[in-house]
Structure 1
Amino acid sequence: MFSAPRPPADPDTYGSILRLLERRAAERADGDFFRFEGRSATFGAVAEDSALLAAGIGALGLQPGDRIALMLPNGIDFPVAWLAAARAGTPVVPVNPGYGDEDLAHVLLDSGARAVVAGPEAAAKLEALGARCPDVRWVGGPGELRASGVESGQAPPPVGEPDLDTVVCVQYTSGTTGFPKGCGLTHGYWLRLAATMQAYGRFGPEDVALTAQPFHYMDPTWNLVLCLVAGMPLVVLPRFSVSTFWRQVRDAGATFFYCIGTMPSYLFRSPPDPELDRGHRVRLVLCSGIPADRHAAFEARWGCPWRETYGTTELGVVLMAPLEDADSVGSGTMGEPVPGREVRVVDGTGRPVADGEEGEMQVRGPDTMLGYWSGEGPDTGWLTADGWAPTGDRVRHEAHGYRHLGRLKDVIRRAGENIAAAEVEAALRAHPRVREAACVAVPDDLRGEEVRAYVQLVEGVDPTVTPPEALAAFAEGRLASFKVPRYWSYVDRFPLTPSQKIARTRLAAPDGDPVTGAWDRRQGRWR
């Protein structure tokens, strides 16, 4: 039996992120808001510093509605600058400092950013894009913004009347199947997401949240707003490190963290350390994509509940496994809808399917993104006529919630048969010498598409010990014959998106031939 999460406070309760920051600065002025590598910043100090930075943004001549890109490493400066831009009314465009020229130019041009806040390490990259992005100027780092605010003598812009529908940032998706897409996200979006998480975990000032993810990704941002809602500090790590993570968690006194992708599996492969594994204060871990076969082992080793959650940049949090429902552990399902979200499963024509049948998940509810960014604003035509948002995710509703079956775009059509890449990948990962796998479609004149598998072996295993013939034979014992990949390749590591998902578009052969360098199972040779 499911017990639904407590209903979150309505975003109207807070007015806006800025009103909430004002309230926390008044109530908990000396309470820590951010901690980073021995430094800390209180709610009161963050309110003052973000106001000064907001004055600096105004001194640059930026007007409310102008976009400002933040291209900064993890630390206290990023979230303070994010809050400053919110006060200035200039939507933030978080930018991955690791972007190459093409992705960087796309995000800056697509968002219509007028300025970029970045340190000197990004100067050469930004200057090289000058001809392609003539309307974007590099204004230096947060220090230069502060100096600009002081020298101008401008007063910080007023917080203003609450407007939950005001866009506070243009958050770009991971771009697993193409260029990243910008999502126009509002004060209401972030407050509803954070309030839902606070109600679920019952977080308060005695808690400590921790993030090891980069701030250009969305999760540290909802962590930031969650800490405003709960009145608790956020410990920011410079990066995720398997060897130091649990020591950092223990030393920070963290009671909560969220993780994604391959992070928990990497942690689990590290040697057990009873002192670190159980010497922490963590009372809840939320994760997207917990491996079902290791879920119970995670909880047994680290002594705290790990709960599944599902969300998207476009929709915020959608599904969560109930905290008290221990029976869901190891089920591989994502939970049930959170308060304020409706979920349905539809077929290819958009008609709802019966419970237990596969289809695309669609979601409806308030405070989702306004739309995908297009030039000067969001395109609001992304919903169906009756308000449902497509997710592109194939799911099935089961006893313990919704099961993720893969992306619609990751379905390979071979000789009239549909092959879910996720199913084939799961079968390959079951091999004891396979660390990770990804499958993509390659064109075929006879069958329309064939399956090409990319395999990363566990550390220390050589392909000569686990040749493609052996992997194909292993797959034949677990999959229908038409699902067994024809083409096989090995990779030392997979290219990843900022959200730790495999960037499938970057798996293409360098010469453009989709089967170059692959072992052909049908022909029994390397291509």
Structure 2
Amino acid sequence: MNAGDLLDRDARLAVAPPIPTLTGLLAARAAEHPDREFLRFDDGSWTFGEVEDRTSRLANRLIDVDGVAPGDRVAIMLPNVVQWPIAWLAIGKAGAVSVPVNSSYQRADLEFVLRDSGARVILTDAEHRPLVDEVRDSADDLSGVRVVDVDTLEHLPAATAPSVTVTGDTLANLQYTSGTTGFPKACMLTQDYWTRLGWVCAAAADLGPDDVVLTSQPFSYMDPQWNTALCLTIGAPLVVLRRFSASGFMADVRRHGATFCYVLGSMPTLLFKQPPDPADRDNRLRLVLCSAIPVALHAELERRWGTPWREIFGMTESGVDLVSLSDSDVGSGRLGRPVPTKNVRIVDADGTDVADGRSGELITSGRPMMLGYWNRPDATADVLRDGWLHTGDVAQRDGDSLRLVGRLKDMVRRGGENIASAEVERILERDDAVVAGAVVGVDDELFGEEVKAFIQLASGVDADRGTAEAIVARASTQLARFKVPRYVEFVADFPRTPSERIAKPALKARAAERPGVTYDLRPSRRSERT
């Protein structure tokens, strides 16, 4: 992309979306192109006109039968089925607030979200109804939550959109974060948040009505929701897979003719470690956006599938902050530049901007941005200070771009050295034997903390001392001695957050409850402990 293209893209990114609500976008698309495909699932597809009709029917049902009023919270506990986005958009039409619930939640998780959000209604299906009923029956304060079985909603009477005022400032979601530091917190996200996120990503990716967008994340996560806003923005179809499968993902991309997708977390590494296929480059992809592209694999990912992979950075609280549109960023680890609607700074502990090349906390301001955390004024005040969101990410400037170094709370403090877990993890994951790694600090009498690596191995690799020694030996050629893991424990998988980050508190808790074999690789004390 040349400089002129970048300037033109920046101009489009800086413009506010002309329609500030999801409900307004859906109405506009249905009026313009009622027969154009909007949603495609395994069991069928639905046009903009059909979705406009079904969401109006459901919105009226929620108001007339379930007593939903503007501002009421309505939970959605469903897998990736078409009723999920229909429920989300219908709740918005009713002026109410969606509360996405992970469909894999168990009793304690569901009880917490229902109680914390104050949800009056929950939409679910036959599979999840027994759990919902169990929670309602066991907690007096939740017994009044109305349950709507989506399987009973196929023949609702025809209706026009309800006469409810919905603006860009209307609260749309209580979107629960992963809860990596205690109980999950609900980000308050407005209609404006979603339309801006869709608008910015559409402009950044240069997408239009001839594109086909594909997503494989659970709909309760952020990504399918902003993908829906994106498709409402450009008037293009959204293909929703039941779940992510590394072995079948690219076949689905080919089968559906997808031109754009977003992946994150371990997904790029898992995709790359699939056996090469002569059909790898047989696809219509024009662009893949990704958060945390493995640096060592970046160029290889592009070569293998014959399409650009570009970095995009954001979080639930802030939507999108940085995007890389330049070929020169490939394989550099740079995150790109701020989108025109955002300002970013890198600051020290006192809030003072640090010099270029020095590390500090990344903070961001602008739009989109959450209003704050639901019922958490102290937590809101902690991260939103004087209009700036404190991300907790450690970054540094690299030319006119930025580079992540780690997390403020994800450091190993060994002796007098601070070690960014993310740096060690990136080196480990370059190894062909490694699918994913997580580095944590463990107590040590001499150094305070020592470096421990939890490692998920590639298929067919033996989980033994020899493998641990070989992986650490290869990493030691790229890391300072004090950063090299002393301990290695192999795991079959990792607990993950909704954003596909490894949930380290859950990992540590699991290791404490069900410890595996840990290899101590310090030369002077070659032992194993359980």
**Is this a same-fold pair by TM over 0.5?**
yes
Letter in 1 for 2:109: D
2:466 corresponding residue in structure 1 = 466
| 1:11 Cα deviation after fit | 4.2
More displaced, 1-10 or 225-234?
1-10
Cα pair distance change 1:384/1:498, threshold 3 Å: closer
| 1:483 Cα deviation after fit | 2.3
1:331 corresponding residue in structure 2 = 332
| 1:95 Cα deviation after fit | 0.9
| 1:493 Cα deviation after fit | 1.6
Is structure 2 residue 139 aligned with structure 1 residue 139? no
Cα pair distance change 1:81/1:509, threshold 3 Å: closer
Is structure 2 residue 317 aligned with structure 1 residue 314? yes
Cα pair distance change 1:299/1:474, threshold 3 Å: closer
Cα pair distance change 1:44/1:9, threshold 3 Å: farther
Match of 1:269 among 253, 267, 273: 273
| 1:288 Cα deviation after fit | 0.9
Letter in 1 for 2:306: G
Root-mean-square deviation over aligned CA pairs: 2.5
Contact 1:57–1:145 (Cα < 8 Å) also in 2:
no
Q: Alpha-carbon deviations, 1:293-349, whole Å to 9, x = none?
A: 221122222121111111110001111111xx2121111111110110001100121
More displaced, 175-184 or 386-395?
175-184
2:290 corresponding residue in structure 1 = 287
1:17 corresponding residue in structure 2 = 22
1:359 corresponding residue in structure 2 = 360
Contact 1:442–1:514 (Cα < 8 Å) also in 2:
no
More displaced, 463-472 or 123-132?
463-472
1:48 corresponding residue in structure 2 = 53
Is structure 2 residue 82 aligned with structure 1 residue 76? yes
1:166 corresponding residue in structure 2 = 170
2:481 corresponding residue in structure 1 = 481
| 1:172 Cα deviation after fit | 1.4
1:524 corresponding residue in structure 2 = 526
Letter in 2 for 1:170: L
More displaced, 10-19 or 312-321?
10-19
SS state at 1:479 partner: coil
Report the identity percentage: 46
Cα pair distance change 1:266/1:383, threshold 3 Å: closer
SS state at 1:15 partner: coil
Q: Alpha-carbon deviations, 1:179-198, whole Å to 9, x = none?
A: 32210000111111111111
Is structure 2 residue 40 aligned with structure 1 residue 35? yes
Matches within 5 A, 1:89-488: 89-130=95-136, 131-132=138-139, 134-135=142-143, 137=145, 139-145=147-153, 150=157, 156-160=161-165, 162-274=166-278, 276-322=279-325, 325-374=326-375, 381=381, 384-399=384-399, 401-464=401-464, 466-488=466-488
SS state at 1:13 partner: coil
Letter in 2 for 1:282: L
Matches within 5 A, 1:493-504: 493-504=493-504
Paired with 2:498 and 2:379, the residues of 1 have a C-alpha distance of 24
SS state at 2:225 partner: helix
Gaps of 5+ in 1: none
Paired with 2:306 and 2:160, the residues of 1 have a C-alpha distance of 50
Paired with 2:491 and 2:438, the residues of 1 have a C-alpha distance of 10
SS state at 1:455 partner: strand
More displaced, 350-359 or 429-438?
429-438
SS state at 1:129 partner: helix
| 1:273 Cα deviation after fit | 2.7
SS state at 2:320 partner: strand
1:491 corresponding residue in structure 2 = 491
| 1:44 Cα deviation after fit | 0.9
Letter in 2 for 1:30: D
| 1:517 Cα deviation after fit | 4.5
Contact 2:253–2:283 (Cα < 8 Å) also in 1:
yes
Paired with 1:503 and 1:198, the residues of 2 have a C-alpha distance of 30
Letter in 2 for 1:74: N
Contact 2:16–2:196 (Cα < 8 Å) also in 1:
yes
| 1:403 Cα deviation after fit | 1.0
Cα pair distance change 1:100/1:466, threshold 3 Å: farther
SS state at 2:113 partner: helix
Cα pair distance change 1:163/1:381, threshold 3 Å: farther
SS state at 2:262 partner: strand
Cα pair distance change 1:380/1:441, threshold 3 Å: closer
More displaced, 457-466 or 505-514?
505-514
Aligned residues: 519
Paired with 1:39 and 1:510, the residues of 2 have a C-alpha distance of 40
Contact 2:318–2:367 (Cα < 8 Å) also in 1:
no
Paired with 1:194 and 1:453, the residues of 2 have a C-alpha distance of 37
Q: TM-score by structure 1 length?
A: 0.92
Letter in 1 for 2:271: L
SS state at 1:53 partner: helix
Contact 1:360–1:395 (Cα < 8 Å) also in 2:
yes
Contact 1:46–1:80 (Cα < 8 Å) also in 2:
yes
Cα pair distance change 1:111/1:445, threshold 3 Å: farther
More displaced, 37-46 or 338-347?
37-46
Paired with 2:472 and 2:164, the residues of 1 have a C-alpha distance of 61
More displaced, 80-89 or 15-24?
15-24
SS state at 1:191 partner: helix
